[in-house]
Amino acid sequence: MKNKISFWTIIGFILLFGVVGYLGYILISTFIKSIQLVSPNIIAAIIAGLVTVTGYFISRNFERKKIIEQQIREKKLPVYEEFINFLFNVMMSSKTDTPVSDKEMEKFLIDFNKKSIIWLSDNSLNAFIKWRSAAVNAANSSDKTIQNLFIMEELLLEFRKDIGHSNKGLKRGDLLTMFVNDMEQYL
């Protein structure tokens, strides 16, 4: 069974649009005529009032968003600091003769995974997932060590970017020089 639009339905829609169009024309023309009768000073005051009210609501909206971003940033900072502290402990464990055990690493990563889902930005979370995958693969092979360090640096740069740093003055390998003394030979 096909639905057919009848002739009278089409006529009804045409009449409806005609009436609505005519009423719109009357409303707009009446509005224009009434504006012409009002003093230009009153019109200017109305426009200024509308601009002021609109500006107020726009600025309040931006202010509210900025407060929310600041509150989120305050929650992210301890999470990022925790990760950096752990990373430094792991990287420096060979120099301090206090290796980080596999259980400590596993516990940290489980806890950090929970926090990362909530507090990491999309880009930081993607960089963390990429780093974590590279770290798991690195445990199975040793030939990707430098490549994995660059992936870790990308993660750290995303963390910095997420909390408001521009990273413009940093080039590839700059952050890694904090971990690797002879980093220049790998660049």
Domain count within the chain: 1
* pTM score above 0.85: no
Residue 32 maps to a domain: no
Question: Structural domain of residue 157, as residue ranges?
Answer: 73-186
pLDDT in the model for residue 1: 46
Residue 10 maps to a domain: no
Residue 161 contacts by C-beta under 8 Å, 6 or more apart in sequence? Answer: 123, 124, 167
pLDDT in the model for residue 148: 85
| The amino acid at 79 | V
Q: How far apart are CA 180 and CA 149, in angstroms?
A: 9
Running along the chain, 187 residues long, what does each successive block of 10 average in pLDDT? 73 92 93 81 87 93 92 90 90 80 90 92 94 80 74 93 91 85 76
Q: How far apart are CA 169 and CA 167, in angstroms?
A: 6
Residue 4 maps to a domain: no
What angle separates helix 145-162 from helix 122-140, to the nearest 10 degrees?
Answer: 160
Neighbours of 186 (CB within 10 A): 13
**Rounded to 5°, angle at Cα 69 from 68 and 71:** 65
Residue 130 maps to a domain: yes
What angle separates helix 102-119 from helix 122-140, to the nearest 10 degrees?
Answer: 160
